[in-house]
Amino acid sequence: MRPENIFNFYFLLVLLVFLSCQSTNTSKHYDVLVLGAGTGATAAAIQAARSGAQTLWINPLEWPGGMLTSAGVSATDGNHRLPAGLWGEFRDSLRKHYGGADSLFTGWVSNTMFEPKVGAYYLNQIIASTSNLTVWNNSIWSTINKGEAWEVTTLGKDGAQIVTATILVDGTDLGDVAAAAGVGYDLGMDSQSNSKEAIAPQQANNIIQDLTYAAILKDYGPGTDHTIEKPAGYDPTVFYCACQHPKCENEKPHPCDKMLTYGELPNDKFMINWPKFGNDYYTNIVEASAAERLDAYRAAKLKTLQFIYYIQEELGYKNLGIAKDEFPTDDGLPLYPYHREGRRIHGLTRLNVNHISNPYDYTLYRVGGIVGDYPIDHHHAENPDAPEIDFPMVPSFSIPLGCLIPSGPDDLIVADKAISVSNIVNGSSRLQPVVLQIGQAAGLIAAMAVQKDVSPKDLSVRAIQEEILHYDGYLMPLIDVTPDDPHFESIQRVASTGMLRAKGIPYQWANQTWFYPDSLITADALITNLRVFKADLDFESSVDALNIESAISIVNQLTEHQHTNEQIQQRWETKFNLTNFDISRPITKRELAVLIDFTIDPFHRWPVDFSGTMKSPK
């Protein structure tokens, strides 16, 4: 049986409920079991296996990639200058396929735009080359129980089975696995008192962001007519203000050609994911039954078909038809809808907008492992009851690793949008490059927990972060130090301790955080940061730029072993990979980061818990 889209998925779910009442077979035990169709599920399965864990991924759809591919949202948002981990690897494969970075800049909404089927192909290539990974596509789960191990009832090509695993990973878009496992969660808009955000509503509500049943249209050439059959309930007035139209009143929409080129993909295709007066659709089916979800998805798909018909019939783009060569579905539409928001678990830590706006006022910046730069962006145009929120400008940000780990039960990790963040932060954390990193971190944590024979909450945060760096991930969203920089890891480690700090800048649709590695620093500025680690640090401060000799003198106060100038000089070029050792000249932030990393090693010497609180130095 081959479920081609989400509608067949729910048919299988009903069948599984029936079969689970019959006899089932017990499959082998796995180290890590990933459940769900999400982007995070894909990344978690790949990374858990790469990290050495025997991994099974149960994917209800035919494709990997979640919203990136199966939902058709193949115009990625954010992280153009933060190519962290698997996101950078995936993007590189697309650049090679299409002939370079410029070949992906086809529409104006994104720097990286591609055909969903091409994205699915390259993710499948990665999966095929990954040892320790078993994937059951077109397979679903129904029941989850925790004993000595996780026991999950599944249905796939081999019928109903019970699968067991040490670590369970929720890779669903809506947090379905976490909920079934008994994890506490929030749903909808937080109240101010709950989220501690002054811009949040006074009262909580159950309103989530609009979802979208996206579509990919194809230009079949001048003079062709690919107009679809008029959809039921079609009303053109609903779409008049999607783009410039004589009957649009009190709005100033984009020109219609710009509405289309917004999501223009390679090879004359167009992603239809237009928010205002387009094909966004409001529904909250997160806690609904399978039948209720199915009805809502049908309605969302119908709205998209109505919008396509409007584009063809009212706007005259008859040459644009549904791309029949894109998705493995009968109707040519994506395999499932694009969910922007679902549950948000109660995790070891929760990220709110205050932590993003002013990271150094808190401690969570120390425990990041996922980075993003997209602004806070919510879709609520389809729900008039949604209270308006004046979203602040924010810099780029790090997501704390504790956001992926529920406060209970143990041995479960969240790998997609259902991480522990506020409703407001979800508007920035839900994007494709960020969720790829969330999934990658989840898979890495899962494998490490198995190998250490501990629950994820008992792992060393710094050990997790070291592994993230090993896979070209970021701890801090530093825009000016990339993984190919020879001092990337040193700068990331030192920056995440706060000994040397970065500057965050809100910037349009791609926020920034700068380390300024070639800049200078005063002794006073350095000592202010170091006194968090040693309160009685003694040095005569100066407004002048710190030189190499003074820097060595300062760092010696935080080490048990005193380093002479001669010893540092011996290591400067060989071990530190630096040049021009002249103790009288000013030291750059890059050089200072490397000096601190190799001499003080604060990243390991001062461990932190998942809240970012420093423990006693080793």
Query: Do residues 159 and 267 share a domain?
Result: no
Q: Which helix (H) or strand (E) holds 433?
A: helix 432-452
Query: Do residues 408 and 537 share a domain?
Result: no
CA nearest to 346, candidates 201, 203, 146, 194: 194
In a domain, 386, yes or no: no
Please give the structure tokens belonging to residue 50: 């790469």
In a domain, 47, yes or no: yes
Please give the structure tokens belonging to residue 214: 């996206």
Residue 320: the pLDDT is 98
Residue 3: the pLDDT is 40
Residues 6+ apart with CB under 8 A from 435: 38, 39, 40, 43, 66, 67, 416, 417, 429
Query: Do residues 54 and 171 share a domain?
Result: yes
Regarding pTM above 0.85, the answer is: yes
Q: Which helix (H) or strand (E) holds 354?
A: helix 353-357
Query: Do residues 165 and 232 share a domain?
Result: no
For residues 58 and 316, give the distance between their C-alpha atoms in angstroms, rounded to a whole number.
43
Query: Do residues 171 and 226 share a domain?
Result: no
Query: Do residues 63 and 97 share a domain?
Result: yes
CATH number at residue 103: 3.50.50.60
Name the pairing type of β-strands 269-272 and 368-372.
unpaired
Strand order in the sheet with 320-322: 264-265, 269-272, 215-219, 320-322
In 207-322 the beta strands, taken as DSSP E runs, fall at 211-212, 215-219, 264-265, 269-272, 280-281, 320-322
Measured from the Cβ of residue 55, the count of other Cβ atoms closer than 10 Å reads 31
Query: Do residues 276 and 182 share a domain?
Result: no
Reported as a single tens digit per residue, the pLDDT across 317-375 is: 999 999 999 999 999 999 999 999 999 999 999 999 999 999 999 999 999 999 999 99
Query: Do residues 21 and 166 share a domain?
Result: yes
Structural domain that includes position 442: 17-189+404-463
Query: Do residues 185 and 245 share a domain?
Result: no
For residues 558 and 42, give the distance between their C-alpha atoms in angstroms, rounded to a whole number.
43
| Domain limit, last residue, from 322, 345, 363 | 322
| Domain limit, last residue, from 439, 463, 487 | 463
Query: Do residues 36 and 183 share a domain?
Result: yes
**Contact indicator for 192, 436 with CB cutoff of 8 Å:** no
For residues 183 and 175, give the distance between their C-alpha atoms in angstroms, rounded to a whole number.
9
For residues 36 and 34, give the distance between their C-alpha atoms in angstroms, rounded to a whole number.
7
In a domain, 399, yes or no: no
The segments of the chain whose pLDDT lies below 50 read 1-4, 18-19, 21
In a domain, 329, yes or no: no
Residues 6+ apart with CB under 8 A from 158: 25
In a domain, 613, yes or no: no
In a domain, 373, yes or no: no
In a domain, 487, yes or no: no
β-bridge partners, 351: 421
SS3 580: coil
Query: Do residues 138 and 215 share a domain?
Result: no
Unique residue bearing structure tokens 């792992």: 459
Residue 289: the pLDDT is 96
In a domain, 384, yes or no: no
Residue 4: the pLDDT is 45
| Domain limit, last residue, from 304, 322, 340 | 322
In 451-580 the beta strands, taken as DSSP E runs, fall at 503-505, 512-514
Measured from the Cβ of residue 451, the count of other Cβ atoms closer than 10 Å reads 13
Range 474-512 burial, b when 16+ CB lie within 10 A, else e: bbbbbbebebeeebbbbbbbbbbbbbbbbebeeeeebbb
In the chain, the number of structural domains is: 3
Residue 9: the pLDDT is 59
Please give the structure tokens belonging to residue 5: 């889209």
Query: Do residues 181 and 279 share a domain?
Result: no
